[in-house]
């Protein structure tokens, strides 16, 4: 352990200094050890377990856990339920991103433009509230909005001469409903991050553009959009990753597991928990978790790759 003491960049090695370095080192160790221990226990270990279990066939009820290699993964890609789940989840994640990015960017631009408005605080709060409200009550509000018979959405459509839609019963519409709910929730986050971005943009460039006769819309498209690209990238990846973890929204809006009316929209986390705790196939569920992990790593990798590419230019 004491070999760790050698690493300091400090060249002054008087006796007294050595003692105080030693003291400092022990303080650092004692202060950080509990956190490191907890990290190892509740994060590193279960992550490693997920990877390990994905290679085993572990039926919760049986005692033996045979090693099956990549068999779980091979089976997953022939499992209709899993494929259904991954398609729905990807549709929700990319759909929510496609809604969130442009809407939150425009909203942030307008809110930033009206920073001096008397209502600026209200705008920020109102946009952000959907992001902090607990998922379950929020999803329940939207379940009512989408309700086929009593929901305001259908009544509004009918009032304007349209045709009522079976929002939560149709396989495509129910996914769209979840996309809307997820977007409504992530919008506030996107606006907030974009607002920080707008505040950090160089004012002089905009002033110059204005003097050259560019109007607000032009400077938005030709300056803000390209200048904010790193932020767009960041918000996209965050939205995608949280989209791939969608669960509560689907659980409330579109699950008939407890006999509630409505169609089940199978998502990745739901399928994983079902395999683990209802079908008792833990190894199989762990393989699904590994696939979720790979998706997240790929998305993050793409983000870093694109950022580095930009940096090189």
Partner 1 sequence: MTVSSNTRSRRKNLLLDMMLFVICVLLLLPLLLLIANGFKTPQEILVWPPTILPKDPTLENFQRVFSETPLFRWIFNSLSFALLSMIAIVITSTLAGYVVAKFQFWTINVIFTLFLATAIIPFEVYMIPLYFQVKALGALNSIGGLLIGYLVMSFGIFLIRQNVIATVPDELIEAARIDGAGEFWIFWHIVVPLLKGPIAALSVLAFFQAWTTFAWPIVVLTRKTAFTIEVGLANFQSAYTVDLALLSAASAAVMVPSVLVFVLLRRSFVEGIAASGMKE
Subset of residues 104 to 123 that bind partner 1, contact rule: CB under 8 A: 107, 110-111, 113-114, 117, 119, 122-123
d(CA 67, CA 43): 24
Of these, 55, 83, 133, 209, which contacts partner 1 (CB under 8 A)?
133
Q: Between 175 and 187, whose beta carbon lies closer to partner 1?
A: 187
Residue from 18, 19, 22, 44 in contact with partner 1 (CB under 8 A): 44
Which tokens is 30 given?
């004692």
Work out the widest C-alpha separation in the chain, in whole angstroms. Answer: 88
Pick between residue 101 and residue 187 the one whose CB is nearest to partner 1: 187
Candidate ranges 72-80, 163-171, 203-211, 288-296; the one touching partner 1 (CB under 8 A): 288-296
Stretch near partner 1 under the rule CB under 8 A, chosen from 68-76, 77-85, 88-96, 129-137: 129-137
Residue closer to partner 1 (CB basis): 42 or 70: 42
Q: Which residue has the tokens 């009032």?
A: 159
Nearer to partner 1, 206 or 234 (CB): 234
Please report which helix (H) or strand (E) contains residue 312, including its range: helix 282-312
Which 8-state DSSP code applies to residue 160? T
Binding-site size, partner 1 (CB under 8 A): 101
Stretch that binds partner 1, among 61-69, 82-90, 144-152, 169-177 (CB under 8 A): 144-152
How far, in Å, CA of 13 to CA of 18, rounded? 6
CA contacts within 13 A on the Cβ side of 20? 7
- The phi, psi pair for 59, rounded to 5°, reads -85, 120
Q: Is the dihedral of CA 239, 88, 254, 269 positive or negative?
A: negative
Angle 94-98-103 (CA atoms, 0-180°, nearest 5)?
A: 150
Distance of CA 240 to the CA centre of its chain: 5
The structure tokens listed for 38 are 């907890």
For the segment 77-96, give every residue that binds partner 1 (CB under 8 A). Answer: none
Q: 171 to 200, contacts with partner 1 by CB under 8 A? A: 184, 187, 189, 192-193, 195-197
Task: Output the smallest distance, CB 38 to partner 1, in A.
Answer: 5
Residue 102 binds partner 1 (CB under 8 A): no
**What is the residue whose two structure tokens read 């079976």?**
166
Q: How far is the CB of 90 from partner 1 (least distance, A)?
A: 15
Q: How many CA atoms lie within 13 A of 66 on its CB side?
A: 4
129 is an interface residue for partner 1 by CB under 8 A? yes
Q: Determine if 135 is a binding residue for partner 1 (CB under 8 A).
A: yes
CB of 7 to partner 1, least distance (A): 4
């Amino acid at each position: 352990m004491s070999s760790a003491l050698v690493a300091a960049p400090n060249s002054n090695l008087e006796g007294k200094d050595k003692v105080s370095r030693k003291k400092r080192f022990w303080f650092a160790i004692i202060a950080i050890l509990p956190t490191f221990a907890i990290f190892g226990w509740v994060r590193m270990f279960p992550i490693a377990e997920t990877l390990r279990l994905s290679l085993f066939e572990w039926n919760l009820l049986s005692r033996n856990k045979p090693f099956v290699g990549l068999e779980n993964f091979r089976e997953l890609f022939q499992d209709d339920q899993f494929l259904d789940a991954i398609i729905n989840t990807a549709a929700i994640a990319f759909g929510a991103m496609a809604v969130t990015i442009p809407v939150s960017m425009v909203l942030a631009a307008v809110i930033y433009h009206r920073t001096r408005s008397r209502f600026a605080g209200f705008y920020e709060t109102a946009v952000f509230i959907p992001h902090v409200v607990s998922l379950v009550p929020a999803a329940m509000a939207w379940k009512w909005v989408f309700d086929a018979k009593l929901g305001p959405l259908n009544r509004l459509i009918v009032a304007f001469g349209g045709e009522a839609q079976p929002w939560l019963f149709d396989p495509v519409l129910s996914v769209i409903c979840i996309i809307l709910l997820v977007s409504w929730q992530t919008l506030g986050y996107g606006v907030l991050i974009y607002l920080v971005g707008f505040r950090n943009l160089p004012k002089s460039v905009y002033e110059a553009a204005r003097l050259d006769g560019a109007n607000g819309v032009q400077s938005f498209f030709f300056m803000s959009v390209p200048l904010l690209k790193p932020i767009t990238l960041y918000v996209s990846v965050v939205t995608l990753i949280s989209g791939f973890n969608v669960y509560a929204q689907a659980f409330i809006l579109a699950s008939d597991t407890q006999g509630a009316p409505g169609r089940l929209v199978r998502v990745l986390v739901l399928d994983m928990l079902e395999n683990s705790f209802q079908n008792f196939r833990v190894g199989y569920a762990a393989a699904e978790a590994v696939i979720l992990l790979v998706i997240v790593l790929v998305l993050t990798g793409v983000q870093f790759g694109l950022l580095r590419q930009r940096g090189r230019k």
